[in-house]
A and B are shown apart, each in its own frame.
Chain A
Amino acid sequence: MTKTLLALALAVALGTAHAAEGVSQAQFKALEARMAQLEADAKAARADAAKARAEAEAAQAEVARLKGASTANVAAPAAPTPGGSAATSAPAAADTSDLAANDDLAVPDDTASAAAPAPVATGESNDNVASADGGGSSSNPNAFNPAISIILNGSYTHHSLDPANYIRAGFPIVGEGGPAPDGFSLGESEISFAANIDEKFYGQLTLTAASENGQDHIGVEEAFIDTTALPAGWNMRLGRFYSNIGYLNSHHAHTDNFFDRPLAYQAFLGNQYGDDGVQVRWVAPTSLFFEVGGEAFRGESYPAAGAGHGGVGTKTLFAHVGGDVGDENEWLAGVSALRTSAIGGEDGFTGDGTLYIVDGTWKWAPQGNFKDGGLTLRSEYMIDHRDGTVVDAADPSVVFDWSGKRRGAYAEAVYRINRQWDVGYRFDRLWAANDGPFASDTDPTRHTIEATWRNSEFSLFRLQLSHDKPNAVDTDNAVTVQYQTSLGAHGAHKF
């Protein structure tokens, strides 16, 4: 009797009958056998559901009689509610208006035919609920158009040091790695198209609009296809895309916490490394997120140049691991290597370069609501090895041999106050080489603070102040106001 009471208490407390199983095993075995029998009957007589239900009721009555009224709750497996026994005794009498209405609420079954981004079945069946103007999704010839997402971006920057006179000690300005232009600028506005191509491929094209010396350019930032049907966690990407090395490199600038990229990215990757190539990536079937992969690129853009090795001038390897600590903390860490060969590079370098990156991100947010508050900490550390020759910028007939090492790092902390506001601080530092053509006694450093206001997920304004010491004599204090908006399809962003 004590056991029965205990079983009952547990069942009620936990809202499930499972807990009771270990307690009164014998009673349950008999009961389960009876239930199994009943279910077999019910299956046979599914055409006559009412009859089956009556049988179930009879069984419950029998069980109640056998075990006493007090155990009726246990008899109905997983009956979680205090009133469960009374309620389950009258299932046939369920509110007919509700149950009749169910047919109107359902849409045709699309079992097994559903493809993730193609809501075909819904369009038609909901026509009587939704207003018809604008075209239903199934009859609309635009339904197969790719998702279009447009990022509109603009900024005003004032530098205390003319960007034309900006010299970074030990690190020539390469790629897009210089300071932002003075005054108003469009920055990089972009338009992105993405869709599943068929059941095996996904494609994405991102075009950017940028101005250089008053000339507008439309550039192909990314144009790639992804496989979606390789088994066992394998992915392949073909085309032009940003390398998956480090943390920031694979992220589009509009997801950054700051207006510009860290000095290390500017100095070693010309802001961001993207090129034409192929990527293979594998996600391990582990409870901790773990991905490894490698890439081969043509090798045209900095730090590569000249598409060496028959147009396979850059190779990368990367590994990322991440997970959570409780509900409120998330982390991601990675190690990457980029190996390039440069033939007459932007910095005058010809030879082999290897860049190692270690990256780490830690995010904390109350209850895991990262968009409503919390702290993001991120740091990346880069080591750049070079082995080759450098042409003297002043006199191209002079060539130095150079084998050396330079380093760079940044650390940033962004505090999200609420859904609308965040504030952040970033520290940048580069370590110049001690000898060779780029030798410098001073190491560039920069402090940056920012505040961002978001009206919604789709629009933000940002104010950023930076204090940059690019060389021994100059200081550049810059203030930037930036807006950034996202139109069209709701893009899903990487962590």
Chain B
Amino acid sequence: MKSLLMSAVLLAGAVAAPAQAKMRVFACEPEWGSLVHELAGDKVDVDVGTSALQDVHVIEAKPSLIAKVRAADMVVCTGAELEVGWLPQLIRQSGNTKVASGPGYFEAAKQVKTLEKPSALDRANGDVHPDGNPHIQMDPRRVLIVAQRLDARLAQLDPSNAAAYQQNLTNFQNRWRAAMVRWKAQAAPLVGRKVVVHHISWVYLWDWLGMQQIGALEPKPGVPPTSAHLASLIATTKSANTLAIVRAAYQDPKPADWLADRTGVPAVTLPLTVGGDAQSKDLFGLFDSTISKLLKVAK
């Protein structure tokens, strides 16, 4: 075991490539990894820190992530304190000044207006974020703004490929705007419909599609569902002609199933980010899948 470890160390030392021609980007979440891929193509190498099957609120500052941040020229993360429990530790541990602040540190939520900014900060209200709800990736309008800002940042950090980034952005914007029109048209039957969610992960989607969230399985954000709280949701869920009980791919399916059994309202697992289901291979697939899954229960 010890000799295995030592050889692993030596191997790692041997293959370390200090001089990297390509820019290296660390994306905290898969959606931003996917966006970087759209904007930069093969001009950068992307490491994605988390998967759609993980709860990004509570990731650990793992050694492998420190190594990835150490290697990065830029980090692209959600911000708004979503990663407050781990990203600051990764940056401090890695000793990588390029991404500690300045152009190498990009927060998506800082580029757009956030919803649900609390008027009072009190942990009695659960794991609230002073900068508002951080799950901005489920609003294509905000994704578009983030794309524009991110593209400018990529060009600033890597001027030699600025033309390519500009070209990719134009391309992405054209396809994204067209897709937005299509999604909005497809989602017409969803307007005004009510949903119960596991965690408040979709406020931006409801805002964009004109849907309404009437309850959450978590009694407070970040506090696991309790049976008493679930029981209190039965009446609300039944009475409002509720479309669905929505949970993310990473969340425990049991609470939503429990409520679905007692109300007849279907539980739906939405991807929430790229990789959350088979169809969500990129940002386009993420919204295709999300909308089609909601439409399926609307019928």
Residues of A near any B CB (own CB < 8 A): 14-16, 36, 39, 42-43, 52-53, 56, 76-81, 83-84, 87-91, 93-95, 98-99, 101-102, 104-107, 109-117, 119, 121-122, 125-126, 129-131, 133-134, 137, 199, 202, 226, 228-231, 233-235, 281-291, 320-324, 327, 330-333, 363, 367-372, 418-420, 455-458, 487, 490-495
Report the separation of the CA atoms of residues A203 and B224 in the bound assembly, to the nearest whole angstrom: 34
* Contact B95–A235 (Cβ < 8 Å): yes
Q: Which A-chain residue is minimally distant from B120 (CB atoms)?
A: A134
Residues of B near any A CB (own CB < 8 A): 5, 8-9, 12-13, 15-18, 38, 50-51, 53-55, 58-64, 66-67, 70-71, 79, 81, 84-89, 91-97, 100-103, 105-107, 110-115, 117-121, 123, 126-127, 130-132, 139-142, 144-145, 149, 152-153, 156, 163, 166-167, 170-171, 173-175, 177-182, 184, 208, 222-224, 250, 252, 281-282, 284-285, 288
Chain B residue contacts of A369, Cβ below 8 A = 53-55, 58, 250
Partner of A15, one of B117, B152, B174, B284: B284
* Contact A105–B141 (Cβ < 8 Å): yes
Report the separation of the CA atoms of residues A110 and B102 in the bound assembly, to the nearest whole angstrom: 10
Q: How far is the CB of B117 from chain A (nearest CB, A)?
A: 3
* Contact B18–A285 (Cβ < 8 Å): yes
Partner of A458, one of B16, B123, B141: B123
Partner of B102, one of A78, A81, A112, A130: A112
Report the separation of the CA atoms of residues A229 and B95 in the bound assembly, to the nearest whole angstrom: 8
Chain B residue contacts of A87, Cβ below 8 A = 175, 178-179, 181-182
Partner of B12, one of A233, A288, A495: A288
Chain A residue contacts of B67, Cβ below 8 A = 283, 286-290, 322-323
Report the separation of the CA atoms of residues A53 and B127 in the bound assembly, to the nearest whole angstrom: 45
Q: Chain B interface secondary structure, helix, strand, loop or mixed? A: helix
Report the separation of the CA atoms of residues A84 and B174 in the bound assembly, to the nearest whole angstrom: 11
* Contact A116–B285 (Cβ < 8 Å): no
Report the separation of the CA atoms of residues A327 and B30 in the bound assembly, to the nearest whole angstrom: 14
* Contact A81–B55 (Cβ < 8 Å): no
* Contact B12–A94 (Cβ < 8 Å): no
Chain B residue contacts of A284, Cβ below 8 A = 12-13, 16, 70
With contacts A88-B174, A330-B63, A367-B250 taken as known, whether A107 is within 8 angstroms of B110 at the C-beta atoms is: yes
Chain A residue contacts of B119, Cβ below 8 A = 130-131, 133-134
* Contact A130–B132 (Cβ < 8 Å): yes
Chain A residue contacts of B8, Cβ below 8 A = 288, 321, 323
Q: How far is the CB of B122 from chain A (nearest CB, A)?
A: 11
Known: A43-B163, A126-B113, A494-B61. 18 other contacts (CB 8 A): A39-B167, A79-B175, A84-B175, A94-B181, A98-B184, A107-B113, A110-B111, A114-B102, A115-B101, A119-B131, A228-B97, A230-B97, A233-B94, A283-B93, A287-B67, A367-B54, A490-B85, A492-B61
Q: How far is the CB of B202 from chain A (nearest CB, A)?
A: 16
Chain A residue contacts of B282, Cβ below 8 A = 15-16, 80
Partner of B117, one of A129, A229, A457, A490: A129
Chain B residue contacts of A320, Cβ below 8 A = 63
Q: Which B-chain residue is minimally distant from A200 (CB atoms)?
A: B97
Partner of A322, one of B63, B123, B208: B63
Q: Which B-chain residue is minimally distant from A112 (CB atoms)?
A: B103
Partner of B86, one of A332, A367, A492: A492
Q: How far is the CB of B294 from chain A (nearest CB, A)?
A: 17
* Contact B224–A330 (Cβ < 8 Å): no
With contacts A78-B38, A109-B152, A323-B64 taken as known, whether A116 is within 8 angstroms of B105 at the C-beta atoms is: yes
Partner of A126, one of B53, B94, B132: B132
With contacts A114-B102, A327-B51, A330-B60 taken as known, whether A283 is within 8 angstroms of B113 at the C-beta atoms is: no
* Contact B284–A81 (Cβ < 8 Å): yes
